[in-house]
Structure 1
């Protein structure tokens, strides 16, 4: 068992590797390529080995939550879930950094939407994103994990180099939590637990600092649904968390018509149903997906249409790669202490 480090040790030893450096995993050595994305705790590099295009996600040893990510991906891979990367390998270097090697993805949905005209997806792309992201959430819950940080920045299309560009993947599980005990019984809510997630997409329960369940992931998805189909959320420019909470409450009452203006009628019904769920309820994923598929059918939208970001130049230019290292949730540093210090390669599932 690797012992926990002191603060001085963390300062002296923590580091991230650089492009061109070789890191050694269980199965192979990996030469780190271009930086795809970075954040306060880590970096994602491209890597090609034996003709396979991969991403290597690296985090500083003392701050790493990759053991959580590895647990989620292991559970997803065992179930052969469609919307999750394959975890190829993992490892660590002394007490400097920890890494996992996984499937390469494209740009995340937040970045892709920002690049569109008027920062808005077409209804075709938006509805198909909504369906696939909810399918991913359903799969995650079937693997017995909560995300607790559903947002567009944690989803991305697969990479064209791997012929997965029509599938939306979920990634970044730094705040994920298994919601059942060792006997697969649901954990009871713990009362007030502090903030989890991202302010723009957090559920009303999250704003109340209460324990989150499956319904809260789906409520966060609903805000994603409105944003990717309508183009924006009313509180997009609001930074005060209490003000955002109040805006979300008004969106259910006096501002509801404006909030859902231009949206298909089923959006109103889906919101009503989500708000009716209790902590213990299983969300009606299939019911929501069926409703969105009916909208696609009515609008003549085919599920295999090009995404908005797939113009001729993007189809030819396959060297652009993802920022799979989207920033951790706003308050993640408050919860780093939950990490069992010293989880290195031997602790990666």
Structure 2
């Protein structure tokens, strides 16, 4: 971490959290592991306070709404420290990509695929039942629990792109306005590439896209790597339109 970073290991946040290590950071966003006053480890996400509604602010509000589910990380605290907004939440383990790449053959067993797939669907259902579309479903946003009580449970994270489900007079309707590209290039549904406003079905399409390496033991075309590096957006759009998770699934018996 750069020496001029205003938040450092050892800092005390709001007299309650002590920063113990950095997990990730860039120019205006950082994630740290910290200890609270009971010596429990938590994750704290910091984002530069620009005076406008930030991603951390949006995520904190949505986490409060979703907080009761076992498939959503627990919300602890939201506030301001120095010139950063921060969100304290449950500390989780590795994401699905890291788990799949942990050791050869770099894919999950059929049992694990079914287990994690069911939990992922249930996590998405929680988001939808509270009136939101996630809009960034990908293996990197599913993390495994970090304690003995939830080590086998997937938790959905990163809600900054969430949007309320479109309703008219309390009835869910198809949005008529043009949308923007949302999500991650590798996992976005075709509707996102077509700049159509996303709905609940697009979350499920992103989950079951053939490129979800975390949930399917897939093979890849020779010009794609397992990490999904595409030459351009048209290549990703073509793959979204012309591939099926069923004809790519290679289940070992």
Match of 2:18 in 1: 31
Q: 1 or 2, which has the higher strand percentage? A: 2
Asked if 1:196 is matched to 2:182, the reply is yes
- Cα distance between partner residues in 2 of 1:69 and 1:180: 19
SS of the residue 2:112 aligns to: helix
Match of 2:150 in 1: 164
Aligned CA distance change for structure 1 residues 174 and 232 (closer, same or farther; 3 Å): farther
**CA displacement 1:273-326 (0-9 Å, x = unmatched):** xxxxxxxxxxxxxxxxxxxxxxxxxx8xxxxxxxxxxxxxxxxxxxxxxxxxxx
Shift of 1:223: 1.8
Match of 1:52 in 2: 40
- Cα distance between partner residues in 1 of 2:230 and 2:44: 34
Relative to the length of structure 2, the TM-score reads: 0.84
From 147, 163, 174, the equivalent of 2:134 is 147
Match of 2:99 in 1: 112
Worse-matched range after superposition: 136-145 or 109-118: 109-118
- Cα distance between partner residues in 2 of 1:182 and 1:20: 50
**CA displacement 1:175-216 (0-9 Å, x = unmatched):** 111214696543651432221001111101111011000000
Shift of 1:57: 1.2
Aligned CA distance change for structure 1 residues 156 and 261 (closer, same or farther; 3 Å): closer
From 29, 51, 56, the equivalent of 1:66 is 56
- Cα distance between partner residues in 2 of 1:69 and 1:224: 28
- Report matched runs for 1:1-349 at 5 Å: 17-24=7-14, 29-49=16-36, 50-62=38-50, 64-77=54-67, 80-94=68-82, 96-160=83-147, 163-180=149-166, 184-186=170-172, 188-223=174-209, 227=213, 228-232=215-219, 234=221, 236-252=228-244, 259-263=247-251
Aligned CA distance change for structure 1 residues 97 and 106 (closer, same or farther; 3 Å): same
**CA displacement 1:6-44 (0-9 Å, x = unmatched):** xxxxxxxxx6522211111xxx52111111223454121
Aligned CA distance change for structure 1 residues 215 and 54 (closer, same or farther; 3 Å): same
Q: 1 or 2, which has the higher helix percentage? A: 1
- Cα distance between partner residues in 2 of 1:109 and 1:126: 11
- Cα distance between partner residues in 1 of 2:56 and 2:210: 25
Task: Give yes or no for contact 2:186–2:211 (8 Å, CA) kept in 1.
Answer: no
- Cα distance between partner residues in 1 of 2:231 and 2:71: 31
Relative to the length of structure 1, the TM-score reads: 0.63
Task: Give yes or no for contact 2:138–2:212 (8 Å, CA) kept in 1.
Answer: no
SS of the residue 2:119 aligns to: helix
Count of residues paired in the alignment: 241
The CA RMSD over aligned residues, in Å, is 2.7
